[in-house]
Amino acid sequence: MFPESNINVERPEQSLGLSPQDATRLLEKCGRNRLTPPKSNPLWKQFIKQFLDFGTVLMEIAALLCLISFFVELGQHPTNPVYDNLYVAIVLICVVFVTAFFTFIQEATSSSVLKGFMDLIPVHATVIRNGVVNVIHPEEIVPGDIAIVKVCQTRANMLTIRVEIKFLQTC
């Protein structure tokens, strides 16, 4: 038998689960079983952040050097300028903006997917405590609880089950 959870490994059907006092003590010790949403930055900060990536900064520096080279050459030969460096700078700047835009869109999409996980949390959980089946709020599940998990065929329920089991393992 596991001492803290009162789970009888040999005969699980005889397990009584935690006592209400143990569940209260573990809830105070481990805290509520909840997902904390990640801190989110405003969209404009997320977009500006795309221009500070190492590879992007290298392309920005290369574009700046091409522009400097173009203007130095323009100063030396104002009547017959060569536009190669200007064209390279324009292409590099376009690549930087297109890359930043698509990376920003991808990060915004993945952020909205993470927010969608909050909708997968069940509205109630069924646990056995003191040998009695109780329906509680999922945030009140503590390590050592015997949770009754209904297996369904929908993907959303399978994801929810995985989240619940993860939170049952440790404080």
Short-list 15, 136, 14, CA closest to 5: 15
Quote the pLDDT of residue 163: 38
Structure confidence by residue, pLDDT tens digits, 52-99? 999 999 999 999 999 999 999 999 988 888 899 999 999 999 999 999
* Total domains in the fold of the chain: 2
Q: Are residues 153 and 87 in the same domain?
A: no
Pair (88, 72) in one structural domain: yes
Is residue 82 situated within a structural domain? Answer: yes
Same domain, 23 and 64: no
Q: What is the residue range of 94's domain? A: 43-117
Residues of the chain where predicted confidence (pLDDT) is lower than 70: 1-6, 8-9, 12, 35, 37-38, 114-115, 117-122, 150-171
Do both 65 and 113 map to the same domain? Answer: yes
Provide the whole-model pTM: 0.52
Question: Which residues sit opposite 126 in a β-bridge?
Answer: 135, 148
Return the CATH number at 21. Answer: 2.70.150.10
132-136 β-sheet, strand order: 132-136, 125-129, 146-148
Based on the domain organization, do 102 and 143 belong to the same domain?
Answer: no
Is the same domain home to 125 and 107?
no
Residues 65 and 128 in one domain: no
